[in-house]
Amino acid sequence: MSDIYFFRKNIIKRISFLVLKIFILSILLFILIRCSSNLKKSAPADGDEVSVQVNPAYFIKEGLVEPITKVDYKLSDGSTVACYKIVTKTTPTEHTMGPWCPTNISDGADKGGIWMESGKVYDVDGAFVKNLATFYKDAKWKMYRADGSIMVTNTKEACEAAARPNVDPAYQNFCVQCIPSYVSGLKQIFYIPVTPVVAPNQESNIDNLPPGPPQGAGNNRPVNGERRGPPQGGRGPQAGASTIGIAFNGVNFDPPAPTSDILKHYTLAPLDDNGGHINPHAGYHYHAATGKTKKIKQADGHAAMIGYAMDGYGMFELLDEAGKEPVDLDDLRGHYDAIRGYHYHVGPAGGNKFINGFRGKTGGFSASF
């Protein structure tokens, strides 16, 4: 009897130990899987475990000239793939445009836009304009009259004369603004890969973004106002690139504003509080993400999505819902996770740059009246 009792007791102990061991191993395996899934993966050059397609349903219909269609299109390396053809009005529908230039040195920040300098964003109010000579340590700056009124381009002709590389000398010391009615007939066509295609050349393009948008004859603009899309045969953005991507309202994210060219002619071309302004040949476009455009919130608290780059990868805000920046971005300002695949996070508004280059092969872009 005692032998049977001890035998059963021994069996029970062994079973209990085995169950406990299995339980502990299960917990460890669960923790390992969770940790692995939360890692931000550096995606291999020849493809990703997760590759997220462009979602045409994200775009605001009121910003489109025609329904989005799928077409075959030649990418930057000459290969042909399925792309979405997106034709837009360049007019945002979720926010108003402007203001840009204050009209008097007594005006508050609500009467003007913003200006980017040395990584910071400044309100272009009357006081900012009044103090330009001090701000830039150059006595030649004086953009206002004796009565306090600020010199602003207030006609289409003045806008065109001031918003070009060779600024008309008559418009030096002017605040340059162009208004929506000057570009009311403009439309833009974007061709973006349905599924991003990783480019074989993986080096970054830090500090190799051209100023944009092209302005006037000095930048080889065709006479009809069209401008070409991202460069052919390269990773871009390189010389010739004309847009970085598209917001969900149909407005384009542009390369860095040519602030040095603007300033050397003693002009100021403010952005509105939404990060955009108008070029007479390119329409309304953004140089900074300020949180005013349509966003696609992420269920896990990740930064919200704000658009697509020209290579089809998603563009996301800089900060997540907790106000934190990602810490593992690559040289292009992108990284990978198992939910969104590879994607970009735009730079801070004061940096005058959305991303540092394209990971994928880019589609095409044109703007015309």
Q: What is the pLDDT of residue 237?
A: 39
- At residue 141, the pLDDT reads 99
34 pLDDT band, cuts 50/70/90, is very low
- 225 pLDDT exceeds 60? no
Is the predicted pLDDT of residue 45 greater than 60, yes or no?
Answer: no
Give residue 348's pLDDT band: very low, low, confident or very high (50, 70, 90).
very high
Strand partners, 71: 83
For residue 99, is the peptide bond before it cis, meaning its omega torsion is within 30 degrees of 0? yes
3-31 per-position pLDDT tens digit: 554 445 555 556 555 555 555 555 544 44
Per-domain residue ranges for the chain? 1-38, 45-369
- Extract the runs of DSSP E, i.e. beta strands, from 64-170: 69-74, 80-88, 114-117, 120-123
**pLDDT of the residue at 209:** 42
Amino acid at position 196, single letter: P
Q: Take residue 210 and report the two structure tokens written for it.
A: 């051209």
| pLDDT over threshold 80, residue 349 | yes
Residues 6+ apart with CB under 8 A from 31: none
Question: 100: Cβ–Cβ under 8 A, 6 or more apart, which residues?
Answer: 112, 113, 124, 175, 177, 269, 270, 271, 272, 277
How many residues make up the chain in this entry?
Answer: 369
78 against 27, higher pLDDT? 78
How does pLDDT run across 130-153, given as a tens digit for each residue? 999 999 999 999 999 999 999 999
β-bridge partners, 74: 80
Residue 235: both structure tokens together: 């990773």
Mean pLDDT of 336-365: 97
